[in-house]
Chain A
Amino acid sequence: MAKKTYDLLFKLLLIGDSGVGKTCVLFRFSDDAFNTTFISTIGIDFKIKTVELQGKKIKLQIWDTAGQERFHTITTSYYRGAMGIMLVYDITNGKSFENISKWLRNIDEHANEDVERMLLGNKCDMDDKRVVPKGKGEQIAREHGIRFFETSAKANINIEKAFLTLAEDILRKTPVKEPNSENVDISSGGGVTGWKSKCC
C-alpha cells in the first residue's frame, strides 16, 4: 500500500476458561458493544483495533481463543506469536480463578519468554454473585509480577484501560525503529513476528 494506516502492529492473545467472557471483553473493546447470548468460540478468532499511543498509531491484532479443553491443541499454537497475553477469569466462577495457575503454565510452555502478561477478573458488575475477592486477584497477580484489573464487558468497566495499558507496556519494550511495512500478518505458531524486545 502506498500509505500505511499504522506505525506498529501488536499481537495480543486472550486466554482463560470457557465462559469467563473473553469474547465479550474483546467485543466491547473493538465494537463497544455487548451481547448476553453465550456463543462458544470455535477454536480461534481475531479482531483488529487501531489505537493511538504516544503519537503512534498502533494496530492491535487481538486473538480470541476458545476456552474449551477440546480446542487447546489449536489455541496453544497461537501463543508463540503473541506479544501480550490477557488471562481472563470470572469473579463469579471460583474454578476459573483456580485454573489461573494452569493458564500461566501454558504461557510458560508455549509463549515467547518476554511476552507481556496481564490478569483480568471479568464480570465485576455482578458483585452479588462474586466468589473471588478482589484481593485474591491482586495477590496472585503480585506473586507473578503482572498487572491486574477487574473488568466488566457488560458495564464497560476497565476494558479500554486494560487493553491500552497492555499496549503501553509492550510499546515501552519495543525498540524504536522504522514502522513495519508489513500488512496484517496472519502467520500463526511460526513465531515469525519480526518483533523482539530489548530489555534495558
Chain B
Amino acid sequence: MEEPPLREEEEEEGDEAGPEGALGKSPFQLTAEDVYDISYVMGRELMALGSDPRVTQLQFKIVRVLEMLEALVNEGSLTVEELRMERDNLRKEVEGLRRESSAAGREMNLGPDKMVVDLTDPNRPRFTLQELRDVLQERNKLKSQLLVVQEELQCYKSGLIPAREGPGGRREKDALVTRASNASSNKEETIIRKLFSFRSGKQT
C-alpha cells in the first residue's frame, strides 16, 4: 500500500481524466496502466473503509481479480500487437503478389485468338500455311512426274517401245533426258530449298 501515492503523481501528470477515468473506458481499450489506476482508486476507497477484517478479506479478493484483469489486458494487447504485425506483413505480401500478377497479366493479355510461341522450342511452328501449301503442291507434282517416268520406263523395259525404234523413239528418249537434266538444274530453286535457305544463310 505504499505504491499508490507514487502512482498518483505519475498519473496526474500524464492523464487528464485522472485515475477515475480508467473506469469509464471501454474494456477493449483497457491498458495495464488503466488497471493500475483502477487498483489505486479501489485501494484508496478500501482504505477509507477502515480495518474491518471483512474489508481485509474482500481486499485480497479484489487484488486477485485486479491481477487477473492485468494479465488479461497484457495478454490481449500482446495478441493485438502480434496480429497487427501479421496483418501488415500479409498486406505487403498481397501487394507484392498483386503487382507481380498484373505485370505478368500485361504480358500474357494477348486476346482470345492469340498464342505464345516458345522461341527456344525446336519444334515450334515456323512456316506459313501458304508455304506448306506450296511444298505439298510441289511434292505432289514431283510425285506425279515420277509416276509418269516410272510408267515410261516400264514401257521401255517391257519392250512396248523399243529403244532403237527410229527417229520418233529416239526423240522420245532425248526428251526424257532433257527433262531429267532440267529437273536437276531446277533443283536449286525448289520451294523446300528456298524454305531451308536460312540454314546456309546463317552459316555465311
Cα distance A186–B160 when bound, in Å? 26
Q: Does B141 contact A (CB under 8 A)?
A: yes
* Segment from A1-9, A16-24, A136-144, A173-181 that makes contact with B: A1-9
Cα distance A93–B125 when bound, in Å? 30
How close is B199's CB to chain A, nearest CB, in angstroms? Answer: 21
- Chain B binding surface, main DSSP class: helix
How close is B159's CB to chain A, nearest CB, in angstroms? Answer: 12
Q: Does A191 contact B (CB under 8 A)?
A: no
Cα distance A73–B129 when bound, in Å? 9
* Segment from A40-48, A103-111, A122-130, A151-159 that makes contact with B: A40-48
Q: Does A101 contact B (CB under 8 A)?
A: no
- Inter-chain contact B161/A2, CB cutoff 8 Å: yes
Neighbour of A46 across the interface among B140, B152, B160, B168, CB < 8 A: B140
- Inter-chain contact B147/A2, CB cutoff 8 Å: no
Cα distance A65–B160 when bound, in Å? 35
- Interface bits B135-163 vs A (CB < 8 Å: 1, else 0): 01100110110011001100100001100
Neighbour of B144 across the interface among A1, A77, A184, CB < 8 A: A184
How close is B18's CB to chain A, nearest CB, in angstroms? Answer: 85
Q: Does B172 contact A (CB under 8 A)?
A: yes
Q: Does A36 contact B (CB under 8 A)?
A: no
- Chain A binding surface, main DSSP class: loop
Assess A48 versus B147: contact at CB under 8 Å? Given A74-B129, A186-B141.
Answer: yes
Sorting the interface of chain B by its residue count into under 10, 10 to 19, 20 to 34 or 35 or more gives 10 to 19
- Inter-chain contact A46/B161, CB cutoff 8 Å: no
Q: Does B132 contact A (CB under 8 A)?
A: yes
Kindly list the 9 A-B residue pairs having the minimum CB-CB distance in the complex, ordered from nearest.
A184-B144, A43-B136, A186-B144, A186-B141, A74-B133, A183-B148, A48-B147, A44-B136, A5-B151
Given contacts A46-B140, A77-B133, 16 further A-B contacts (CB under 8 A): A1-B148, A1-B155, A2-B161, A2-B168, A2-B169, A5-B155, A42-B132, A43-B132, A45-B140, A46-B143, A48-B147, A74-B133, A183-B148, A186-B137, A186-B144, A188-B137
A-B contact pairs, 22 of them (CB 8 A): A1-B148, A1-B152, A2-B161, A2-B169, A2-B172, A3-B160, A42-B132, A42-B136, A43-B136, A45-B140, A46-B140, A46-B144, A48-B144, A73-B129, A74-B132, A74-B136, A183-B144, A183-B148, A186-B137, A186-B141, A188-B137, A188-B140
Contacts of B168 in A (CB 8 A): 2
